[in-house]
Amino acid sequence: GGRAGGGGAAAAARGGGCGAGGGGELAPEVREYDDYVAQHGPTGGWDPEDHEEFLAVLRSCGGDYTHTVAIVMERAVGFSRAEVMQHARWHMELVDLELRKRLALERWRRQRQQQRAAVLTSQAALGSDTAELARRERERDQRSREAEAAAAELKRAMAARWRAEKEEQQRAAAAEAAKRAEAAEAARRAELQQRQEDIKMRVQMSKLAKEQQRREAERRAAAEAAIRAALAAPTPQQRARVAERSSATFGRRQSLLAAHEEQRSRRERVQQQLLEKVHVEAPADPARLLKGTTAHMQRVEAQRQEERQARDSGFILHVAKRVVPGWRAGLQGG
């Protein structure tokens, strides 16, 4: 309701020149409000029904946007918390711009009334024709009403265009969703058909494998039956061949045993001959372990010769005698 009245006053301001100095330019507040509505639409990009529900909740909450956002989040479907908060911020900005616009229009009305009063006072003082002044006032009022009607019509056209664009977007989204659903259904049917074909193929392969197993079992059974039949009643020729084979096998086995025995006897004779060749008769002599070896006896004899020669020369008065351990003395004495 406030926006409708403000729009009419704004149209009158356009016709009469609502500006900072009373000229033909729009006031900055009016321009900001119009630009904001033109940019975001009359409902902030929401569907009119959703926006009306938002306004109803806001009125029931006494203008508390925080409480309103919480309630709308519980009731609304298809809106995230960020979208609801963004819409609330948009509406707060819209209300602020609308208030500033109303104040600007109120200032403009007061200035207009003051100007009219000054003109009327001046005309009355000068004795001008009041009928002409009234006619001009009526013409200005008529122009103001026409401007308000044009502004209202422009707003309705903008709202209708926005609704048409929104509906077109919704139809496009619905068509795209239908296409995706159709593609998904086609893919599902193709997958189902492929799965059925795979099942048929596996069933057919299983049947072929079972048939092959059955034939193989029948073939083996027939072969076993033939073998059993052949073994059950041997012919005289078969008996003769079996006897001949048994006799030949026994003969080969006996000849192998004889050859093995002959080889073992020959090996034992060779071993006995070798033992006779290398046999040595030696008497037992336990004391030989305590006797010195030939080399040791030679070294001992050489030392004795050296000592004897040195003592017999006459130049050496005394020769130190080396102490010989008892165990070594026994060896030397031997």
Q: Residue 128: its pLDDT value, please?
A: 52
Q: Residue 4: its pLDDT value, please?
A: 35
Q: What is the pTM of this model?
A: 0.34
Residues 57/72, Cβ–Cβ less than 8 Å:
yes
- Reported as a single tens digit per residue, the pLDDT across 176-185 is 888 888 888 8
The CA distances from residue 157 to 33, 161, 249, in Å, are 18, 6, 120
- Reported as a single tens digit per residue, the pLDDT across 106-135 is 888 888 888 888 877 776 666 555 667 777
C-alpha 68/C-alpha 61 separation (Å) is: 6
The CA distances from residue 45 to 1, 159, 163, 169, in Å, are 20, 11, 10, 12
